[in-house]
Structures are given as C-alpha cells and as structure tokens.
Amino acid sequence: MAFAEILFQQKVGLDKDCLTYEIPSGLDIKIGQLVKVKLRCKEKIGLVWKIEKEKPAFKTFPIDETIKNQPFLSENQIKLAKWISKYYFCPL
C-alpha cells in the first residue's frame, strides 16, 4: 500500500502545505497528477506532490479518483516550485 501527499490550491493548515491520502489498489497514481479527494466533507481537486510507501501514524482517507492519466506537472516543474517556495519564503 502506498500513500500520497496531496497539495491543494488553498492552505490546509498553519504549518502544512499537503495532506496525506491512501492510494487505493487499482489506481495508478503518479507524482504531478491531479486527483479528486474528500476534504472537510467536500470533493476537492489536488495535486499529487509526493508518494511514500511508509504508512503514517495517523488515519488516512483514500483518493477517490484521478482526473487524467498523465501528470499535470512534470518532475522538473515540481522541483522548480519547491525551489521558488524556499527561495521566496512562500507557501507551495
């Protein structure tokens, strides 16, 4: 089982940029792909920012579905976004 860190358009916490969701078996999820998840009882679209194999210490909810089969952002674009965020001290 794998887990994905999902980045949303709006800020989700004071010190968090991403929330962790479980990747259900049967879904082929890639970094940079757009997915639909439930956030505060509403369906939201988020970007897969990172994929991890290790189960987190907290409860996770599953990803509902993928938007497209291809990634929305490439790995280079994600690296650039991380650099911009650190360099300019801004949220992702």
pTM to 2 decimals?
0.86
pLDDT for 2: 94
Q: List the helix and strand counts (H, then E) for the chain.
A: 1, 6
pLDDT for 92: 82
pLDDT for 69: 82
The pLDDT tens digits along the chain (92 residues) read 899 999 998 877 777 789 999 999 989 899 999 999 999 899 999 999 999 999 999 999 999 999 988 889 998 999 999 999 999 988 88
pLDDT for 87: 95
The DSSP call for residue 3 is: E
Q: Which residues of 22-40 are buried (b: 16+ CB within 10 A; e: fewer)?
A: bbeeebebebbbbbebebe
Q: What gap in Å lies between CA 21 and CA 38, rounded to an integer?
A: 10
The DSSP call for residue 53 is: S
